[in-house]
Amino acid sequence: MNQQPISQPKYSGSGVEPIELVPQDGAHHPAFRKPENVIGPAVSVILHAIFLIIAAILVINPPVRGDGREVEIEFATLSEEELEDLDETPTDALASPLDPSLAKAIESPADLLEVDVASVAVDLADPGAIDTLGGSGDEFSPGETLEGGGSGTSFFGVESRGTRFVYIVDVSGSMSQSDRIGTLRRNLVDSINRLPSHASFLVIAYNDQAIPMHSAFRWSKADEPSKFRARAWVNKLISSGGTEPSSSFEQAFKLKPRPDVIYFMTDGQQTEVLPSLIGELNSKGRRTKINTIVFGDRGGEEVMRRIANESGGQYRYVPDEGDGP
């Protein structure tokens, strides 16, 4: 529809030429834009600025993996249509800067960490209140599980501290009786699992000869991959042959550095010369503690007690499952 100009004098009677005011449909002066038409673009500008700052930081100082390689980062970008949709987003749809639940958490930070102080309190005046590693007698039930603690491990209930552990274990033919080999495997796996991650270990099975874990007389770190491989190897052990642990001890004392602890387990009788051989090997350098374990047959108990006593270790007798002490 055509609109006729409206003539109005600026000042009545001034003789000034009239000014024509022609209204136009839908036209608004920029100074009078509605607030909702300004907030959208402002939010877009802020988001773009934040994105550019983050991108600059990552380019200047990219994150690095544990192996030293840089981490590749992919950025998500918005199309022009998506940016226009964002600009047109109503202000009511914008997220609140602080969720009410978060505000409550900040007002009461204690709610974020609920700790019962009384449950962890320790009476320092009572030495028995703190867990320590140590033996609990000469008897051990094969089905018993003894919780370890501190920097060490436990094997058949004998606990010791240290960072380098050697297991010299009997896999002779007699270990097939009463499923002794099965009990050995379970307790050996349990002991390896208890090793602290900073420790090193080696398993030497023996019958007529020394049979090292993974066919090598060397230390393995007690990390999860090594423990996994050790468990797989231990679970394949079978009983066969005679009983001769001398070469196993000779190999154990050749390790560099020397072991802190040796667990020596057998179900057979040992010769009287074994304590002398072990004593000689153990006299060259820092003494290694040797914990001895007799399994099922007490015939070799006296020799095994002597080996443990002379090295400062512990002796333990383990009856067959289902048998009394």
Confidence of residue 43 (pLDDT cuts 50, 70, 90): confident
Q: Does residue 262 lie in a domain region?
A: yes
Are residues 287 and 140 part of one domain?
yes
Of residues 185 and 131, more confidently modeled = 185
| 34, pLDDT greater than 80 | no
- Please check whether residues 75 and 206 belong to one and the same domain: no
Q: What letter would DSSP give residue 245?
A: -
Residue 146 lies in a domain: yes
Give the CATH number, domain containing residue 290.
Answer: 3.40.50.410
Q: 78 exposed, middle or buried (CB, 10 Å; 0-12, 13-18, 19+)?
A: middle
Least confident segment among 60-74, 80-94, 148-162: 80-94
The predicted pLDDT at position 158 comes to 96
Q: Are residues 93 and 213 in the same domain?
A: no
**pLDDT exceeds 80 at position 71:** no
> Is 34 buried (19+), middle (13-18) or exposed (0-12) by CB count in 10 A?
exposed
pLDDT at 170: 97
Q: How many CB atoms lie within 10 A of CB 270?
A: 23
- Residue 310 sits in which domain range? 133-318
> Where is pLDDT greater, at 307 or 5?
307
Query: What pLDDT sits at residue 182?
Result: 96
Going by pLDDT thresholds of 50, 70 and 90, the confidence category of residue 52 is: confident
Tally the domains of the chain. Answer: 2
Using the 3D structure, point to which of 77, 99, 121 is the last residue of a domain.
99
Question: Does a structural domain hold residue 258?
Answer: yes
Of 42-51, 54-63, 125-134, 254-263, the range with the lowest mean pLDDT is 125-134
- Give the residue-averaged pLDDT of 211-239: 97
Task: Give the pLDDT confidence score for residue 307 in this predicted structure.
Answer: 97
Better pLDDT: 269 or 303: 303
Q: Are residues 89 and 174 in the same domain?
A: no
In this structure, are 151 and 284 located in the same domain? yes
Within-domain flag for 21: no
Distance (Å, whole) CA 115 – CA 272: 57
**Per-residue pLDDT, 154:** 96
d(CA 202, CA 214): 9
- Ranking 247-251, 265-269, 287-291 by mean pLDDT, the lowest is 265-269
Encode pLDDT of 182-224 as tens digits: 999 999 999 999 999 999 999 999 999 999 999 999 999 999 9
Mean pLDDT calculated for residue range 71-75: 53
- For residues 71 and 214, membership in a common domain is answered with no
- Residues 152 and 253 both lie in one domain: yes
Query: Same structural domain for residues 95 and 137?
Result: no
For residue 110, being part of any structural domain is answered with no
Same domain? For 91 and 156 the reply is no
Cα 93 versus chain centre, distance: 42
Domain assignment present for residue 221? The answer is yes
Task: Looking at the structure, tell me whether residues 141 and 206 fall in a common domain.
Answer: yes
> Does 89 share its domain with 227?
no
**Residue 90 counted as domain residue:** yes
Single residue among 48, 82, 99 that ends a domain in this structure: 99
The pair of structure tokens assigned to 71 is 């981490």
* pLDDT score at 53: 84
Q: Is residue 249 part of a domain?
A: yes
Q: Is pLDDT above 50 for 300?
A: yes
Least confidently predicted of 112-121, 167-176, 266-275, 296-305: 112-121
What count of other Cβ atoms lies within 10 Å of the Cβ of residue 161?
Answer: 16
Rounded to an integer, the average pLDDT of 26-49 is 65
Q: Determine what percent of the chain falls in helix, strand and coil, rounding each to the nearest 5.
A: 40, 15, 45
292 three-class SS: strand
143 versus 71: which is more confidently predicted?
71
| pLDDT surpasses 90 at 81 | no
pLDDT score recorded for residue 220: 97
* Choice among 19-28, 39-48, 50-59, 294-303 with the minimum mean pLDDT: 19-28
As a whole number, mean pLDDT of residues 145-173 equals 84
- Considering the domain architecture, whether residues 228 and 283 belong to the same structural domain is answered as yes
Residue 278 reports pLDDT greater than 60: yes
